[in-house]
Structure 1
């Protein structure tokens, strides 16, 4: 009998609908795949033992992607068009977790993503670190395929 082992979190790729370049799928880290409800409290008259808590709107966290800076990237052109020219073209993003055979285990399909923030690490002549760019994206929702 084989026991179940949870998947490793280091083998994944990030696919953008706006790019087919192979380097645009490589990211050092992905965070922000979370969802929660706002909660509305309702105090019922005459009931003093508890407050009713009702689910409200759904909230999705910002998607944060980090990678070594690329000098030729369709994703960066997409971000710069949004920041510089105010051209917001929503994109679909797939975050695909893979197994040891490079087969997809789980796919998060992120809908209607647009850039919110772009950040580059500090440049320092006394440090020999890779330049990391951070993309922060907002999106409507995600589904798990």
Structure 2
């Protein structure tokens, strides 16, 4: 029946989120991708090992670059301005938080990027035969990704 508690809950939808780029504040993005981290694998085998295979061990941790996409607006050039602040060895690195929100706008999950800075910015592609909005994207490099559930 409508209004009753569901016995087996559904997975969390991914369409309600917010992104905050340090001192730049909250920016409304359409899409976020690249929220993953992994370990390099080190393979080792001692010469006197009785097993004729290698042992696998975790090596250095690395995280993917984060891509954020948003619609372009006539009087908004904030992503290009942010990108142009990058100068050799003088960029102010930012803490970036990306939060997946519930229906009451409260964070359920939070991803935090440490020491992020823009490494690429792209304007929209154009096609006279499509009726789509103009979308720009920025790619952020960072030094670590942490995850927290609310």
TM-score (norm 2): 0.83
2:46: which partner in 1? 44
Of 68, 77, 82, 1:78 maps to 82
Tell me, which stretches of 5 or more residues in structure 1 are unaligned? none
Report the secondary structure of 1:54's partner residue: strand
- 8 Å CA contact 1:18–1:74 kept in 2: the answer is no
- 8 Å CA contact 2:79–2:121 kept in 1: the answer is no
Alignment of 1:78-117 (within 5 A): 78-82=82-86, 85-86=87-88, 87-117=90-120
2:35: which partner in 1? 33
Pairwise CA RMSD of aligned residues?
1.9
Shift of 1:73: 5.0
- 8 Å CA contact 2:40–2:59 kept in 1: the answer is yes
Shift of 1:45: 1.4
1:2 & 1:102 partners in 2: Cα distance? 23
* 1:14 correspondence with 2:19: yes
* 1:140 correspondence with 2:106: no
1:18 & 1:51 partners in 2: Cα distance? 47
1:76-107 Cα deviation digits (max 9, x unpaired): 4221222xx55511111110001112111011
2:67 & 2:76 partners in 1: Cα distance? 20
**Which protein is richer in helix relative to its size?**
1
1:110 & 1:73 partners in 2: Cα distance? 23
Report the secondary structure of 1:18's partner residue: helix
